Amino acid sequence: MKKIILSLVLFSATTLTVLSQYYQGFENDNFNGLHGVLINPANIVDSRIKSEINIFSTQIQVGTDYTPLTPDNFINIINEDSFTVFPKDDNELLLNLELFGPSFMFNLTKKSSIGLLSRVRIYNNSRNLNAKLYEDLTSGFDDEDFDFNMMNLDQTLHAWGEIGLTYGRILTDKDNNFLKAGITLKYLLGGGVVQATSNSFSGDYVYNENAPPQSLINLNGDLSYMMSYNEDEDPFSSITPGFGTDIGLIYEYRPESTRTIAEDKNGKGFNKYKLKIGVAILDIGHITYKDQEETNYTLNGSVAAEEAENDLGQALEDNFVGTKAVKDVKVSLPTALQLNIDYRITNRVYASVNYNTSLLEADKPYNSIGQNILSISPRFETRFFSLYLPVSFSELGGTAIGTGFRLGPLVIGSGTILSTLFYDNAKSANIYAGLKVPIYQKRKSKLKNDTLTPGTVN
């Protein structure tokens, strides 16, 4: 049963990845172009961006309660020195990696826009696992006895690609009220999935001082695992197709005080709203991997620690009776509700509140689940430059503070960089960066010989 090793090793490997994230702060920038479409497809229409080409962007997000995600701790891990850990029976690790590839958007008419997006995404959810046990299985057991009692163990790793077609349209534009909608239809390219689950997985490690190779791991409970591809192969060597959808609505309250000035100058080039509210359901859909072999074990016995270190899968096969079943496996996308509220304080200063919550069952196998995050982000925004200061709250990551900026075609930021640098027990870390080619809406006055007065409208 070599196959489960990949999912177990992933826990140890990804705890070393302390830089990561989700475009926090940048998601509400009115000049974010295609990145705004990822948060809500309605953002594609009536944008301050006339058209845009995304060259390349990436973001990575990690959350864990096993080891602090701080620079000092990371350096100790790299140097193989002792580092701080908080092992328990229900440690958790979430990993979200995204590569946002070549994509573009442009206006079709005054009331509609279209875009084509490409992405590669990797999600890992490790819940209710004893990190001490997995660390010893991959790095070697020491001379200290310990026991473990994991309930509802769930390990899901899923990698897939997306090609998305986005369409947005203005529904209402009358007086103070503006409403637009958008949809993204996705063709999914499933790279592969690894799944390990257990209702109960308990036991202990007993060190034998006189004969360390015969130190034993006593196991009780159950364990099921599945891997959709050979661990020696590229996960994208064989592709499994699927379909997904994002849908979204955005309402803007446009009082006369902000609306008329913008319309006099050029309505498309300026923000007209005082308050903007967006709601979207993202990543609706799934990928079905057909004829997958799932192995189930009932555990009641012992294995030699050295045998488990060398090859856990083979050790289980040699010491326990497993049953195999072939079935179709449906892996859900990380379906989530996204709510964004953006308030215009002055012409260049905004404050936003964002809430993202998973719509999937956390304890159901084959679900890719992200963190539920509430964030507050003030920002300074102009046409060519924006600066963000996001503050987020989540159950796993606690309070996190970050910063970021957009400078023309370049965007760099993190939702956690300040807390990572200055908190002793940071539980989440992230970073994002991107390079794009934006073409802004024109800002020339409709009136002849009329020029814009700097600072009048953003």
pLDDT for position 4: 38
Question: What whole-number distance in Å separates Cα of residue 70 and Cα of residue 135?
Answer: 19
Both tokens of residue 309? 């270190």
Question: What whole-number distance in Å separates Cα of residue 246 and Cα of residue 338?
Answer: 11
Nearest to 182 by CA among 281, 85, 43, 338: 43
pLDDT for position 11: 39
- 260's torsion region: left (phi>0), alpha (psi -120 to 50) or beta? alpha
Distance of CA 231 to the CA centre of its chain: 24
The residue type of 117 is L
Distance of CA 99 to the CA centre of its chain: 11
Between 262-276, 314-328, 423-437, the lowest mean confidence (pLDDT) is in 262-276
pLDDT for position 337: 95
Whether residue 96 is predicted with pLDDT greater than 70 in this model: the reply is: yes
In the beta sheet, which residues pair with residue 167? 114, 183
pLDDT band at 214 (very low <50, low <70, confident <90, very high): confident
Between 5-19, 68-82, 161-175, 369-383, the lowest mean confidence (pLDDT) is in 5-19
The answer to whether residues 331 and 285 touch, using CB atoms and an 8 Å cutoff, is no
Question: What whole-number distance in Å separates Cα of residue 45 and Cα of residue 178?
Answer: 12
Whether residue 422 is predicted with pLDDT greater than 90 in this model: the reply is: no
The total number of residues shown for the chain amounts to: 458
Nearest to 65 by CA among 416, 432, 429, 417: 429
The residue type of 305 is A
The answer to whether residues 305 and 141 touch, using CB atoms and an 8 Å cutoff, is yes
pLDDT for position 235: 58
pLDDT for position 261: 67
pLDDT band at 265 (very low <50, low <70, confident <90, very high): low
DSSP letter assigned to residue 317:
H
Helix H segments across 182-232? none
Q: Which of 15-24, 212-221, 262-271, 424-433 is predicted most confidently?
A: 424-433
Average pLDDT on 180-204 reads 94
pLDDT for position 402: 95
pLDDT for position 231: 62
The answer to whether residues 401 and 430 touch, using CB atoms and an 8 Å cutoff, is no
Rounded to 10 deg, the angle between the 312-319 and 3-14 helix axes is 140
pLDDT for position 79: 66
Nearest to 127 by CA among 175, 214, 25, 196: 196
Both tokens of residue 288? 């079905």
Which residue's structure tokens are 């004829």? 291
Give the rounded percent of residues in the chain with a pLDDT score beyond 70.
Answer: 87
Question: What whole-number distance in Å separates Cα of residue 279 and Cα of residue 257?
Answer: 25
* Number of C-beta neighbours around residue 256 at 10 A: 10
Question: What whole-number distance in Å separates Cα of residue 97 and Cα of residue 93?
Answer: 13
pLDDT band at 442 (very low <50, low <70, confident <90, very high): confident
Nearest to 125 by CA among 67, 57, 193: 193
pLDDT digits (tens, 9 = 90+) for 319-377: 998 899 999 999 999 999 999 999 999 989 999 999 999 898 877 788 777 678 899 99
How much is the mean pLDDT over the chain? 86
- Cα angle 47, 262, 44 (rounded to 5 degrees) comes to 5
Question: What whole-number distance in Å separates Cα of residue 420 and Cα of residue 142?
Answer: 30
Residue ranges of E strands in 177-318:
177-206, 216-227, 240-253, 275-304
